[in-house]
Amino acid sequence: MGKCPDCGTWDSLEAHTTDPGAEKDRQKGIVEAWQALAEGDAAPPDAPVARPIAEAGAAEGPAPRLRTGIGEFDRVLGGGVVPGSALLIGGEPGIGKSTLLLQAAGALARAGTRVLYASSEESAEQIRLRAQRLGVESLAELFVLADTNLARLVEQCRRVKPALVVIDSVQMIYKGDLEAPPGSLTQLRRCASDLVFLAKASGMAVALVGHVTKDGQLAGPRLLEHLVDAVLYFEGDRSHAHRIVRAVKNRYGTTLEIGLFEMSGEGLKEVPEGVMGMDAHAEPRPGTAHCPVMHGSRCLLVELQALTATGFLGAAKRKSSGLDPNRLAMLIAVLEQHAGMRLADRDIFASAVGGVRVVEPAADLALLAAVAGAETRRALPAQTCLIGEVGLAGEVRPVGHLEQRLREAARLGYERAIIPKTKGARPPRGFALVQVESVQGLLEELGPAPKARPARSPRVAE
């Protein structure tokens, strides 16, 4: 069966042969081992021994990280690739995984670190063409291999002895001794766990590339997340110029950091701090609001947009992109309950511009202002940004990193911020702070409503 009749996923069934005696044998083995110990038999000499934590792994100390010199990439990894670690890089096809890894491999090789780039999707000639485009085609320490067989791949690793091996992609690698066909989940799981084991045993860092479909469901890389030490995902989609790489798991660093890139003719270029096509001096429009959002140690200014349109009572649409839909629903309810706005029959669309995903509660106030502004056709004053969390009682709550957000906004040319009531808030020089305590307070800050409103024609359900 291709499809699981129970949960509906495709290609998730595996053949198993069960041996009812095996479980019993295993239990018997444990009992015997315990008895042998009690009788004084020593454990085999090469078995791992439990030790006090202060002594564990202290023998040689941590090996230095492999810094690629691509600042944004090192940043998401928490300061570079850890030797002996396994890394998973996921993203939609065509988003730039191969490009980023070949660039990183090239940067390491240029610094004299040996890297093996094993492609299971492209021929050696294709890799060379891409390398030419990225300017890494003539590096002595950059080895490339086009193969899909795991055993041959491991053999090449043993021969070349790289510090980092890139497997692009892990979905195409197969183990010859498995019955499951190449590309199946069984193959994927077994190959990936073998490669992770290879990393731990050899001290090589292994970077696995995995394709993820838009909903992240079907593709399999999610199955591997628990196996590896760090997981990076390309966020957003191909249609945006910017590429955001986010760590969703990292055993050696924080998962809050993001790396910002832009796809160019010569591969991915790093994007300087905070600049995401935002213009502080843009003409204010109803339905837009700017907000400084924290991503790890970095503050990014994002534009949130909202649009309200005639909908049907009881079937009004609430759609969001790059935002948390639950948060949007909550803010709409707050506007209804605490600002007397009737939105039950309005379709509401909201998005974070530029492909960055915004999930921070500190963006509540901006999102609320965008929705309220769109509905009442009132704009915020120019060069203004908003910071604050909105509670269910309609109160505006303080958020962390206020000073850093204000500093970044001032640096980018904003002159005014609407913030929660904060004792002793110190704005940067020449920067005005407007403190609001509640949603009603915020609405007073929106400009006057335009005189002529486009007529709201009533729509009748058929």
Q: Which residue ranges make up the site for ligand TYD (CB under 6 A)?
A: 91, 93-99, 130, 133-134, 263, 265-267
Q: How far is the CB of 121 from Mg ion (least distance, A)?
A: 6
Determine the 3-state secondary structure of 211 from DSSP.
strand
Q: How far is the CB of 274 from ligand TYD (least distance, A)?
A: 24
Cα separation, 342 vs 309, whole angstroms: 12
Q: Which is nearer to ligand TYD, 164 or 367 (CB)?
A: 164
Q: How far is the CB of 97 from Mg ion (least distance, A)?
A: 5
Q: How far is the CB of 264 from ligand TYD (least distance, A)?
A: 6
Region of 7-15, 98-106, 291-299, 381-389 interacting with Mg ion (CB under 5 A): 98-106
Find the helix or strand (DSSP H, E) in which 195 lies: helix 185-202
**If binding means CB under 5 A, how many residues of this protein chain bind Mg ion?**
1
Q: Does 120 bind Mg ion (CB under 5 A)?
A: no
Q: Which is nearer to ligand TYD, 244 or 334 (CB)?
A: 244
Indicate which of ligand TYD, Mg ion, none lies near residue 44 (CB less than 5 to 8 Å, by partner kind).
none
Indicate which of Mg ion, ligand TYD, none lies near residue 205 (CB less than 5 to 8 Å, by partner kind).
none
Q: Which is nearer to ligand TYD, 212 or 442 (CB)?
A: 212
Indicate which of ligand TYD, Mg ion, none lies near residue 96 (CB less than 5 to 8 Å, by partner kind).
ligand TYD
Tell me the backbone φ, ψ of residue 285, rounded to 5 degrees: -130, 150
Cα separation, 229 vs 169, whole angstroms: 17
Q: Using alpha carbons only, give the angle 300, 302, 304 rounded to the nearest 5 degrees.
A: 160
User: Alpha-carbon dihedral of residues 321, 325, 331, 336, nearest 10 degrees?
Assistant: 100
Q: How far is the CB of 444 from ligand TYD (least distance, A)?
A: 47
Q: Does 98 bind Mg ion (CB under 5 A)?
A: yes
Give me the helices (H) in 218-277, please: 221-224
42 class by beta-carbon count within 10 Å (0-12 exposed, 13-18 middle, 19+ buried): exposed
User: Alpha-carbon dihedral of residues 339, 340, 342, 347, nearest 10 degrees?
Assistant: 0
Indicate which of Mg ion, ligand TYD, none lies near residue 263 (CB less than 5 to 8 Å, by partner kind).
ligand TYD
Cα–Cα distances in Å, from 294 out to 279, 330, 401, 408, 420? 18, 21, 8, 10, 17
Q: Which is nearer to ligand TYD, 124 or 432 (CB)?
A: 124
Q: Interface residues for Mg ion in 15-74 (CB under 5 A)?
A: none
Q: How far is the CB of 151 from ligand TYD (least distance, A)?
A: 24
Q: Does 308 bind Mg ion (CB under 5 A)?
A: no
Q: Which is nearer to ligand TYD, 256 or 263 (CB)?
A: 263
Indicate which of ligand TYD, Mg ion, none lies near residue 290 (CB less than 5 to 8 Å, by partner kind).
none
Q: How far is the CB of 225 from ligand TYD (least distance, A)?
A: 18
Q: Which is nearer to ligand TYD, 90 or 292 (CB)?
A: 90
Q: With contact defined as beta carbons under 8 Å apart, do 315 and 449 qualify?
A: no
Q: Which is nearer to ligand TYD, 134 or 301 (CB)?
A: 134
Indicate which of Mg ion, ligand TYD, none lies near residue 133 (CB less than 5 to 8 Å, by partner kind).
ligand TYD
Indicate which of Mg ion, ligand TYD, none lies near residue 417 (CB less than 5 to 8 Å, by partner kind).
none
Q: Which is nearer to ligand TYD, 212 or 228 (CB)?
A: 212
Indicate which of ligand TYD, Mg ion, none lies near residue 91 (CB less than 5 to 8 Å, by partner kind).
ligand TYD
Q: Which is nearer to Mg ion, 171 or 351 (CB)?
A: 171
Residues in contact with 267: Cβ distance below 8 Å, sequence separation at least 6, in sequence order = 99, 100, 102, 103, 133, 134
Cα–Cα distances in Å, from 25 out to 22, 31, 32, 39, 401? 5, 10, 10, 21, 58
The token duo for 362 is 């500190």
Q: Which is nearer to ligand TYD, 237 or 445 (CB)?
A: 237
Cα separation, 273 vs 441, whole angstroms: 32
Tell me the backbone φ, ψ of residue 48, rounded to 5 degrees: -65, 145
Cα–Cα distances in Å, from 306 out to 200, 241, 330, 382, 438? 49, 22, 15, 17, 20
Cα 246 to its chain centre, rounded Å, is 3
Q: With contact defined as beta carbons under 8 Å apart, do 284 and 381 qualify?
A: yes
Q: How far is the CB of 176 from ligand TYD (least distance, A)?
A: 25
Q: How far is the CB of 211 from ligand TYD (least distance, A)?
A: 7
Q: How far is the CB of 318 from ligand TYD (least distance, A)?
A: 32
Q: With contact defined as beta carbons under 8 Å apart, do 193 and 226 qualify?
A: no
Applying CB under 5 A, the residues found at the interface with Mg ion are 98
